[in-house]
């Protein structure tokens, strides 16, 4: 069974640039969620994708956007990067969007983004 994998693991961008982060969900999972974890904070929910559609969004501006592909992998895109976007971006996969034990959310190791 393949776990959640994210790429790249680290990257550095400058303010105003755009970035794309990628996530491969765990085998058998059809839902992908993205979280932003700033230094010293807990992860914050960005959005969730289920069957290629956005299914819930946190308090993030529209310059944060995403995609889910037919194989359930996903991308997170951030435009017009700001210094405060520097964070660890975590992808999590699951089966379905509700019901059952809510703990069945499997996280990748994250992509560390630094904006200079």
Partner 1 sequence: DQQVKQNSPSLSVQEGRISILNCDYTNSMFDYFLWYKKYPAEGPTFLISISSIKDKNEDGRFTVFLNKSAKHLSLHIVPSQPGDSAVYFCAATLSGSARQLTFGSGTQLTVLP
> Binder to partner 1 among 11, 20, 22, 44 (CB under 8 A)?
44
State the number of binding residues for partner 1 (CB under 8 A).
Answer: 31
Q: Which stretch binds partner 1 (CB under 8 A): 14-22, 28-36, 63-71, 72-80?
A: 28-36
Which residues lie below 8 Å from residue 25, measured CB to CB, with a gap of 6+?
A: 4, 31, 32, 72, 73, 74, 91, 93
> Binder to partner 1 among 33, 66, 72, 87 (CB under 8 A)?
33
- Nearest approach, Cβ of 78 to partner 1 (angstroms)? 19
User: Is 39 a residue that touches partner 1 (CB under 8 A)?
Assistant: no
The rounded Cα 101 to chain-centroid distance in angstroms is 21
DSSP string computed for 22-82: EEEPPTT--EEEEEEE-TTS--EEEEEEETTEEEEE-S--TTEEEEE-TTS-EEEEE-S--
User: Is 84 a residue that touches partner 1 (CB under 8 A)?
Assistant: no
Site residues for partner 1 per CB under 8 A: 4, 31, 33, 35, 40-45, 48, 56, 58, 90, 92, 94, 96-110
């Amino acid at each position: 069974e393949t776990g959640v994998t994210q790429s790249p693991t680290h990257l550095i961008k400058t303010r105003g640039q755009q970035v794309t982060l990628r996530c491969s969900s765990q085998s058998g999972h059809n839902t992908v969620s993205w979280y932003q974890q700033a230094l010293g904070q807990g992860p914050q929910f960005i959005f969730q994708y289920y069957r290629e559609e956005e299914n819930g969004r946190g308090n993030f501006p529209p310059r944060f956007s995403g995609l889910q592909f037919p194989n359930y992998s996903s991308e997170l895109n951030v435009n017009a990067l700001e210094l405060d976007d520097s964070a660890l971006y975590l992808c999590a996969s699951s089966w379905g969007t509700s019901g059952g034990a809510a703990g069945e959310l499997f996280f990748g190791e994250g992509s560390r983004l630094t904006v200079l």
